[in-house]
């Protein structure tokens, strides 16, 4: 009885619930946030070899959705949704491969709903929470999600371990300088490359989410990449002159000098005239 | 005797005082001229086209039709079609950098360097060579169908003198700006506004926006100069829109 956006403590429960076709109903704080708040929900297909249709509350939102594809974001008002995944043309009520009944979508969240294999190779449907918070100018965010039927892995960036001992269905994330990064995935604690290397373009102000999907046994491991834009911030400022040649306005002491000069001119003239008058008497 | 002598002495003192006071007056006049010229030369850069600049970066007004993909009312089914992308195609940088900037009205032709932010200060990394200008490579480039293409350049430098953007404040609405890409293709723009901000108040989000109307933003320094710090108080911003 929890909202699915609090994913970390939920992962096990979600998998169990989906396997049994049971309801993943939610209550409490999420629905209290109000009916009008909208969440963005992307759908990620990480199950090899099986195109599907995706239904939300009985309506087909995706047809012929192919492995490796990412759909959305769907904009869903906060509320409970029945989500079903079928073979193409299948019946969402009776022929679902995967489903979640009464999945609670909170307001104002960014979620990725991922159809993938669990560590044992069984299809599952799991939500991940994306946190598109603002990044400083020049930064990018990298997240890696282990959603493959494979053991624990390390993710290396430029040959150096970046994330270690990552297991299905967990994730790791880091904020890095924007730019390209050569990354690969190795079996945890080894140099045995399971995936990659791949050159990732981590665009500034963008979240790049890399899913490891497929099955190690079936040799269908691959990377699926989702990006979320719009997290950029402007630079701190634009310093573009150090010479003073183009100065407009003048330092305030110039105005003081001008005032003083007027006093000297007027005072001097008056004083001088009075002196002259006295001298002529 | 004493009286005569005294009158003589008194008269000499009066004459001397007259010379001193005249000198004071003349010095005052000279100082007035000098300070007046200094103040007159420091005339402020004027602003023009502020409303147009604000409009370019503003969201559509309330009451306009909602954009495609906006949320349906609560409880209604989601709308098809949903955009679908192939996640196996790794993203690559599609930005097209400008290579040269030409502004005939102020006799400017400058090379454009792609730049980011200074790692220490987080500020725009304006090229150190003052005859070059910097294009903000994190924002939109010549491919842009939305947002602000930003180019900043030095107005001057203490070591190198006048910079590429020394005459930027002279630009007025209607003046033409040309950006060329690496292949020589020319993208024309037309100035619509010129604004001046205290650096502590410039709305950088607006000028570095990646949404809103496609536009070109040129930034340099201006206003009062603090010689102690070697820094100007203001930013001068020129905004232009695409023109054939």
- Cα(B165)–Cα(B236) distance, rounded to whole angstroms? 10
Q: What's the CATH class of domain B50-56+95-242? A: mainly beta
- Pick A272's closest partner by Cβ from B18, B27, B210: B18
Does this complex have an ipTM over 0.95?
no
pLDDT tens track for B13-44:
666 777 788 888 888 888 888 877 777 666 56
- Cα(B76)–Cα(A61) distance, rounded to whole angstroms? 13
Average confidence (pLDDT) over B201-208? 95
Neighbours of A191 (CB within 10 A): 10
pLDDT tens track for A111-125:
999 999 999 999 999
Alpha-carbon Rg for chain B in angstroms: 29
Let me know if the fold of A1-130 is the same as that of A131-234: yes
- Cα(B88)–Cα(A221) distance, rounded to whole angstroms? 11
| Chain B 146-175, residues with CB within 8 Å of chain A CB atoms | 152-163, 165-166, 169
Query: What are the distances in angstroms from CA A174 to CA A89, A158, A196, A264?
Result: 40, 15, 19, 68
The whole-number pLDDT of residue B34 equals 82
Question: Under a CB-based contact definition with an 8 Å cutoff, are residues A103 and A10 in contact?
Answer: no
Given an 8 Å threshold on Cβ–Cβ distance, is A239 in contact with B91? no
- Pick A240's closest partner by Cβ from B204, B220, B225: B220
Instruction: Give contacts of B219 with chain A, Cβ < 8 Å.
Output: 238, 240
Confidence label for B8 from pLDDT (cuts 50, 70 and 90)? low
Give yes or no for residue B143 having a pLDDT over 80.
yes
The mean pLDDT of chain B is 85
The whole-number pLDDT of residue A4 equals 40
Confidence label for B243 from pLDDT (cuts 50, 70 and 90)? very high
Which CATH number describes the domain made up of A131-234? 2.60.40
- Cα(A63)–Cα(A86) distance, rounded to whole angstroms? 9
pLDDT tens track for B160-176:
999 999 999 999 999 99
Q: Where are the domains of chain B?
A: 1-35, 50-56+95-242
- Cα(A11)–Cα(A4) distance, rounded to whole angstroms? 9
Given an 8 Å threshold on Cβ–Cβ distance, is A257 in contact with B225? no
Instruction: Give contacts of B139 with chain A, Cβ < 8 Å.
Output: 232
Supply A44's token pair: 């990620």
- Cα(B117)–Cα(B129) distance, rounded to whole angstroms? 16
pLDDT tens track for A59-109:
999 999 999 999 989 999 999 999 999 999 999 999 899 999 999 999 999
Nearest to B155 by CA among B49, B77, B238, B240: B238
Supply A230's token pair: 């719009």
Given an 8 Å threshold on Cβ–Cβ distance, is B231 in contact with A241? yes
φ/ψ (deg, to 5) at A163? -125, 135
**pLDDT digits (tens), chain A, 281 positions:** 334 433 333 333 333 333 323 223 333 334 444 456 899 999 999 999 999 999 999 999 999 999 999 998 999 999 999 999 999 999 999 989 999 999 999 999 999 999 999 999 999 999 999 999 999 999 999 999 999 999 999 999 998 999 999 999 999 999 999 999 999 999 999 999 999 899 999 999 999 999 999 999 999 999 999 999 999 999 999 998 998 888 876 667 777 888 888 888 888 888 877 777 776 76
Confidence label for B6 from pLDDT (cuts 50, 70 and 90)? very low
pLDDT tens track for B83-92:
999 999 988 8
B71 touches chain A (CB under 8 A): yes
Given an 8 Å threshold on Cβ–Cβ distance, is A240 in contact with B163? yes
The whole-number pLDDT of residue A260 equals 86
Question: Under a CB-based contact definition with an 8 Å cutoff, are residues A206 and A140 in contact?
Answer: yes
A250 touches chain B (CB under 8 A): yes
Mapping DSSP onto H, E and C, the string for B97-147 reads: CEEEEEEHHHCEEEEEEEECECCCCCCECCCCCCCEEEEECCCCCCCCCCC
Q: DSSP assignment, residue B43? A: P
The whole-number pLDDT of residue B31 equals 86
Q: Which residue has the higher pLDDT, A252 or B192?
A: B192
Give yes or no for residue B3 having a pLDDT over 60.
no
The upper half-sphere exposure of residue A198, i.e. CA atoms within 13 Å in the direction of its Cβ, equals 22
Bridge-based pairing state of the strands A110-117 and A38-46: parallel
φ/ψ (deg, to 5) at B175? -65, 145
Q: DSSP assignment, residue A32? A: H
Write down the residue that tokens 């150190």 correspond to.
B128
Given an 8 Å threshold on Cβ–Cβ distance, is A240 in contact with B23? no
Question: Under a CB-based contact definition with an 8 Å cutoff, are residues B197 and B235 in contact?
Answer: yes
A-B contacts (CB, under 8 Å): 292
| Chain A 201-240, residues with CB within 8 Å of chain B CB atoms | 201, 203-205, 208, 211, 222-227, 229-230, 232-240
Query: What are the distances in angstroms from CA B233 to CA A165, A238, A251, B6, B118?
Result: 51, 11, 11, 61, 20
B116 touches chain A (CB under 8 A): yes
- Pick B230's closest partner by Cβ from A223, A242, A258: A242
Q: Where are the domains of chain A?
A: 1-130, 131-234
Give yes or no for residue B101 having a pLDDT over 80.
yes
Confidence label for B12 from pLDDT (cuts 50, 70 and 90)? low
Q: Could you tell me how far CA B84 lies from the centroid of its own chain?
A: 41
Q: What's the CATH class of domain A1-130? A: mainly beta
Hey, is A180 helix, strand or coil? strand
The whole-number pLDDT of residue B81 equals 77
- Pick A243's closest partner by Cβ from B77, B87, B156: B156
Q: Which residue has the higher pLDDT, B37 or B179?
A: B179
The whole-number pLDDT of residue B7 equals 52
Supply A226's token pair: 């989702």
- Cα(A160)–Cα(A163) distance, rounded to whole angstroms? 9
């Amino acid at each position: 009885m929890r909202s699915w956006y609090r994913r970390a403590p939920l992962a096990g429960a979600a998998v169990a619930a989906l396997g049994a076709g049971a309801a993943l109903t939610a209550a409490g704080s999420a629905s209290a946030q109000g009916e009008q708040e909208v969440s963005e929900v992307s759908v990620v297909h990480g199950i090899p070899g099986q195109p599907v249709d995706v239904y939300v509350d009985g309506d087909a939102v995706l047809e012929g959705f192919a492995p490796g594809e990412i759909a959305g974001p769907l904009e869903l008002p906060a509320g409970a949704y029945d989500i079903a995944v079928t073979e193409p043309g299948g019946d969402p009520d009776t022929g679902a491969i995967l489903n979640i009944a009464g999945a609670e979508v909170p307001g104002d969240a960014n979620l990725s709903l991922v159809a993938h294999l669990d560590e044992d190779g069984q299809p599952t449907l799991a939500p991940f929470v994306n946190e598109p918070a603002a990044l400083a100018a020049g930064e990018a965010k990298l997240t890696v999600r282990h959603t493959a039927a494979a053991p624990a892995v390390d993710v290396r960036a430029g040959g150096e371990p970046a994330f270690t001992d990552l297991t299905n269905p967990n994730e790791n994330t880091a904020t890095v300088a924007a730019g390209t990064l050569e990354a690969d995935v190795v079996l945890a604690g080894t140099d045995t490359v399971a995936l990659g290397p791949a050159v990732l373009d981590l665009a500034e102000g963008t979240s790049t989410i890399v899913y490891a999907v497929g099955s190690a046994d079936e040799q269908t491991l691959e990377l699926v990449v989702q990006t979320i834009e719009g997290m950029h911030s402007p630079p701190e400022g634009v310093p573009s002159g150090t010479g003073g040649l183009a100065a407009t306005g003048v330092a305030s002491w110039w105005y003081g000098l001008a005032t003083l000069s007027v006093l000297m001119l007027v005072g001097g003239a008056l004083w001088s005239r009075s002196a002259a008058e006295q001298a002529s008497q | 005797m004493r009286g005569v002598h005294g009158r003589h002495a008194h008269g000499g003192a009066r004459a001397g005082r007259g010379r001193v006071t005249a000198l004071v007056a003349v010095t005052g006049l000279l100082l007035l001229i000098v300070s007046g010229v200094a103040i007159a030369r420091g005339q402020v850069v004027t602003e023009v086209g502020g409303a147009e600049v604000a409009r370019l970066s503003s969201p559509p007004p309330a009451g306009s039709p909602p954009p495609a993909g906006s949320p349906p009312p609560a409880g209604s089914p989601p709308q098809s079609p949903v955009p679908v992308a192939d996640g196996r195609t790794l993203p690559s940088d599609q930005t097209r950098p400008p290579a040269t900037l030409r502004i005939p009205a102020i006799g400017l032709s400058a090379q454009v360097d792609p730049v980011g932010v200074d790692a220490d200060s987080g500020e725009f990394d304006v090229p150190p060579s003052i005859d070059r200008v910097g294009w903000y490579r994190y924002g939109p480039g010549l491919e842009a169908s939305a947002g602000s293409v930003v180019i900043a350049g030095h107005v001057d430098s203490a070591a190198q003198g006048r910079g590429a953007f020394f005459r930027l404040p002279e630009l007025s609405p209607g003046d033409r700006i040309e950006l060329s890409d690496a292949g020589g293709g020319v993208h024309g723009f037309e100035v619509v506004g010129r604004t001046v901000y205290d650096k502590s108040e410039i709305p950088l989000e607006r000028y570095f926006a990646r949404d809103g109307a496609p536009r070109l933003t040129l930034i340099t320094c201006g206003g009062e100069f603090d010689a102690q710090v070697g820094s100007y108080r203001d930013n001068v911003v020129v905004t232009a829109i695409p023109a054939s």
